[in-house]
Amino acid sequence: MLALEPHLRALFEPDIGANQAMRFGNALPSFLDPLLGIAKALLPSNLQSRTPAFDQMIANHYSPGEGIVEHVDLARFEDGVVIFSFLSPLVMDFRYVGQASTSDSYSRDAFPEIENAKHIALLLEAGSAVCLSGESRFNWAHGIKETLSDEFQGRIITRKERISITLRKMKPNQSSEMNSIGNQDNATRQ
C-alpha cells in the first residue's frame, strides 16, 4: 500500500471535486499490474481465460460523508467486476433487484421496489478486494451511503478518506465511450 498510495492520490484532485478517474485499454497505468494479477485470480473459473482480463479502471475517492448511489454496473461491462478498497473501511450496501438490471440504468429510480428488497451490508476493509460476478454483478445493486459513520454488526465505524479501484472488462464493440472521451478521463462522481 505504501508504494501504491502516491499513484492513487495522483489520480484525483478532491479539493476541486475531481473524485473520479477512468482509464481504458492500453492506458491502464503500470502501477495497477499487481492489482490486475490479484483481480484475475479472483475471477470465477469460467472467466479466467479471457484476455485481457480487464481493460477499464475506474478510481473513486471518497471524503468522509461521500457515497455512491445504489446501482448495477452498466450492461456494457462484462461479468466479473473487482473492487479494491484502500486507506479506510466503509460499508457497501447490496440490494436485490432481480432482473431489473437488464436495462442500461444507473439509478435508484430504476428499481422502485428497492426499499423492500433483500439487503446485505458488507464491510469493505482497507486493503481488501471483492469480486462481483453472476448474481452479485447482475441481480444485486451496490452502493455506499452518504454518511459520516457506518454501523456494522453493532460497531460504529467512523468514515475516513477512502480510495477504491474498480477493474472491469468492456463488452466487444463497446468502445464508443472510450472513443468519445479518449482513453482517460477525470471527473466528478455523479
CA atoms within 13 A on the CB side of 11: 26
Q: Which is nearer to ligand AKG, 136 or 166 (CB)?
A: 166
Please name which of 88, 85, 72 lies closest in space to residue 35, comparing C-alpha atoms: 85
Contact status: 142 vs ligand AKG (CB under 6 A) = yes
CA distance 146 to 135: 25
Q: Least distance (Å) from ligand AKG to the CB of residue 115?
A: 20
Q: What residue number has its CB nearest to Fe ion? A: 73
Q: Which does 83 bind (CB under 5 to 8 A by kind): Fe ion, ligand AKG, none?
A: ligand AKG
Contact status: 61 vs ligand AKG (CB under 6 A) = no
Q: 164-179 burial by CB neighbour count: b if 16+ within 10 A, else e?
A: bbbbbbbeeeeeeebe
Q: Which does 101 bind (CB under 5 to 8 A by kind): ligand AKG, Fe ion, none?
A: none
CA distance 72 to 182: 24
24, 95, 166, 169: which one binds ligand AKG (CB under 6 A)? 166
44, three cell numbers: 470465477
Contacts with ligand AKG, residue ranges (CB under 6 A): 58, 60, 68, 73, 83, 142, 164, 166
